[in-house]
Structure 1
Amino acid sequence: MKKYLAFIFLLLSVTFQAQNIHDVKIQGNKRLKTSFIKKISILKVGDKLDTLQLNQDMLLLKRLPSISNASYQVLATKDNMYTVIYDIVENITLIPSVNVYTTNDDEFAYRLGLYEFNMFGRNIMVGGFYQKDIYSSYAINFRAPYLFSNQLGMALNFQDLTTQEPVFFDDKGVNYKYRNKSMEIMGLYQINVENKLELGLNYFVEDYRFKGENINNRPELNVHKWLAKGIFDYNKLDYFYQYVSGIRNQLNVQYVTSTNDMLPDFFIGWNDFFYFKRLGEKGNWATRVRIGLSSNDETPFAPFSVDNNLNIRGVGNTIDRGTGAVVLNTELRHTIIQKNWFVLQSNVFIDAGSWRNPGGDFDDFANSDNVKFYPGLGVRFMHKKIYNAIFRIDYGYGISKNASRGFVFGVGQYF
């Protein structure tokens, strides 16, 4: 009996030992530090071999801007242990950013930027942009999700943004020169592979100056504000180069304080739900649904905008504002040409949405004046080995009331 128990104990010991990881090796990385990959990976030396953990590591790595694809191998060693090898295909991560947008009213604006997404080989993003939208603007951004640990990081942002903004008094739009100068700090916490939390504080100054002769004595404002924000991100997306599958949900809530009754304290929140599905070998269906609400103050400076470059392609540059928004963007992406590094992709899309008027009610969402419906066509020129190297051209044609049409150019997918 004792011999039998000893044999069972020995068998269990060998089995347990054989399931442990003896070594984790990284290959294929050049700029991305091996120590950084091991730091953020779930699987560690000494752990039991677990394919679930390996697959989660692949999802985590493929979401990094510095990696275009990742895979793994498992090798048995002579002493009945396992060596795991992570094969990394790196992206080029020093990326220029270009966005250009026009409408049939001959509006023209552009944004030029330069970003490094893998500073020091540790997935740190540093960069900024210059924008010309009648007026000049700029921003500087820093984001390090794993600065302090494999779960904790931070982001810093500075922005000086000046644009011409339409403000609506009694359904009549007038133009203001709008300037927003802000400083922001964010704490970034990765709960697990699927869930992330961001909390931040933003101090900013809003300045509204009337354009033209102010014969009706419209208000001009210079208001100091504080903004507290929280973002919860649930992400189950899986990437294979230009193809995406899965779901993602991002909830963003903010509370803004003000020192002027014309721009009162308010709450704003919106939820973005994304759904991506592979269709055959070359198709990819992509959908975004946004639902947003804010405090329903009757103010001409409502926070949700109807904008060419944000939500409805072809509609124009900030043509209206509201205290609520429901937006659907859905598109079919199809790969026409695919080479070793180059991809040409077609795009057929529908952008639709509606807004609640400031001080209005939920019936405003069904008001034909507020409903926007813009189908359109586009193309994508992609480099498979450069992060976010997707140059897009879209043309949206409005078929709803008082519709416009126009091109939207940019870098990266629209959503």
Structure 2
Amino acid sequence: MSLSQAQESRVVDVKVQGNKKLKSSFVKKIALVKPGVLLDSIQLEEDVKLLKRLPSIAHAYYQVFPANTPNEFNVFYNIVENFTIIPSANVYTTNDDEFAFRVGLYEYNLLGQNITFGGFYQDDIFSSYGINLRAPFLFSRKLGMAINYQNLTTQEPVFFDNTTADYRYNNESIEGLVLYQPNFNNRFEFGINYFTEDYEYLFGATNPSVPQELRVKKLLYKLIYEFNNINYYYQYLEGFQSIFNFQYVTSTDEALPEFVIGWNDFSYFLRVGKKGNWASRLRLGLATNNDSPFAPFSVDNNLNVRGVGNTIDRGTGVIVLNTEYRHTFIDKEWFAMQGNVFVDGGSWRNPGGDFGDFGDSQNIRIYPGIGLRFIHKKIFNATFRIDYGYGITPDSTNGFVFGIGQYF
């Protein structure tokens, strides 16, 4: 009997197959289809889409079988699990011999409940580390929580009077978030981050109006809204996603005044034939336009423009477009290899500037490039990437960016 003929039929049991580490009770907790409800193909499809998004699951599908009683059916969710204890790594270089890396280890299916727990260590001239706990389904299909601790230290350029100074920057923070997902396509995060920023002058230009030491305690109020309509099939993605991030930051020092910042990432993925995937991400962001050398948006190798270098500029507004074509050359049961060609481009508004800054040639960076992806299809996020970006705008650099996971 087809599902269209069985709309008034009832589910008598829900079973989970193929899972080993993932708890069947967890799958049943987050599934819309439960014993006693009417059989609904739309709910079945939605459950499978949600399952395929989970870090612990490489692939999922459902089956429906008649029970012993007429108009009653058993639903089976078939699971192909991912291996979920995963190292993370990001490495980048530029042609001025800059080298930095971040490594970490994360468990994405703690206790068989799709809880993420782990941490990272970063070496970017100075050492940094962080610990993260994220349990999006801790209380129900809709409600969870996250806690993050970070002690991040980097050498940051500060730009003023057409000159540059380098500071040792430290950000120590602890953050708590409430995670709420009202339905399949939409989710919200609400939270508070308490942090301390510490700037210490190292070398470069000076100005009496620019302090050489700063230590400021701050509170950050955060709201994230995501609309996600992406369908996953192993390394292939198709659909649209929008993530809006809004933050209000208080301060105890006028040198680092309070400010508001918001940005939106729009991502679009399209299947091209059987082996191609076109992927694009557009970021639009604005912050309070303080004329400060410590502006919040940065131009950075590992964040937005591959090959550009480590925090080479700052601004109070940002427009960045990343677009690339990924083609799968090898596709086996457990392994795939992709090649990609990309163009990363962006522009920034200068601190205290105006919207005309986005069109200023000095603020525009365009970096085309090529890369490779080595993908383990049964290990979550096990995509090792190598990208080489080459700048074609004035005073550009070039360099490699290595990492685990797609760039976006």
Task: Tell me whether the two structures share a fold, i.e. TM-score over 0.5.
Answer: yes
Secondary structure (helix, strand or coil) at the match of 1:409 reads: strand
Q: Percent identity?
A: 61
1:11 aligned residue: none
Q: How does 1:282-293 map to 2 (within 5 A)?
A: 282-293=275-286
Q: Which of 251, 261, 278 is the matching residue for 2:254?
A: 261
- Whole-angstrom CA distance in 1 between matches of 2:162 and 2:44: 57
Q: Which of 21, 44, 58 is the matching residue for 1:54?
A: 44
Gaps of 5+ in 2: none
- Note the aligned Cα RMSD (angstroms): 1.2
- Whole-angstrom CA distance in 2 between matches of 1:92 and 1:377: 29
Q: Does residue 140 in structure 1 map to residue 131 in structure 2?
A: yes
Q: Which of 154, 162, 174 is the matching residue for 2:165?
A: 174
> In structure 2, do the counterparts of structure 1 residues 145 and 361 end up closer, same or farther at CA, with 3 Å as the change threshold?
same
User: Is the radius of gyration larger for structure 1 or structure 2?
Assistant: 1
> In structure 2, do the counterparts of structure 1 residues 214 and 167 end up closer, same or farther at CA, with 3 Å as the change threshold?
closer
- Whole-angstrom CA distance in 2 between matches of 1:369 and 1:360: 13
1:65 aligned residue: 55
1:208 aligned residue: 199
Q: Contact conserved, 1:18 with 1:82, CA < 8 A, in 2?
A: no
2:294 aligned residue: 301
How much does 1:406 deviate? 0.4
- Whole-angstrom CA distance in 2 between matches of 1:256 and 1:85: 48
How much does 1:78 deviate? 2.5
Q: Does residue 21 in structure 1 map to residue 8 in structure 2?
A: no
- Whole-angstrom CA distance in 1 between matches of 2:158 and 2:220: 22
How much does 1:212 deviate? 3.1
Secondary structure (helix, strand or coil) at the match of 2:42 reads: helix
1:104 aligned residue: 95
- Over residues 7-66 of structure 1, what are the superposed CA-to-partner deviations in whole Å (9 max), with x where a residue is unaligned? xxxxxxxx9896111111100000000000000011111111111101100110001000
- Whole-angstrom CA distance in 2 between matches of 1:16 and 1:276: 34
1:9 aligned residue: none
How much does 1:170 deviate? 1.1
Q: Does residue 375 in structure 1 map to residue 359 in structure 2?
A: no
Secondary structure (helix, strand or coil) at the match of 2:87 reads: strand
Mean alpha-carbon deviation: is it higher for 78-87 or for 245-254? 78-87
Q: Contact conserved, 2:276 with 2:325, CA < 8 A, in 1?
A: yes
Q: Which of 29, 33, 54 is the matching residue for 1:43?
A: 33
Q: Could you list the runs of 4 or more consecutive aligned residues of structure 1 that deviate by over 6 angstroms after TM superposition?
A: none
TM-score in terms of structure 2 length: 0.97
- Whole-angstrom CA distance in 1 between matches of 2:227 and 2:392: 34
Q: Contact conserved, 1:324 with 1:357, CA < 8 A, in 2?
A: yes
How much does 1:339 deviate? 1.4
Mean alpha-carbon deviation: is it higher for 237-246 or for 42-51? 42-51
> In structure 2, do the counterparts of structure 1 residues 17 and 413 end up closer, same or farther at CA, with 3 Å as the change threshold?
closer
How much does 1:405 deviate? 0.5
Mean alpha-carbon deviation: is it higher for 158-167 or for 73-82? 73-82
> In structure 2, do the counterparts of structure 1 residues 237 and 213 end up closer, same or farther at CA, with 3 Å as the change threshold?
closer
How much does 1:226 deviate? 0.3
TM-score in terms of structure 1 length: 0.95
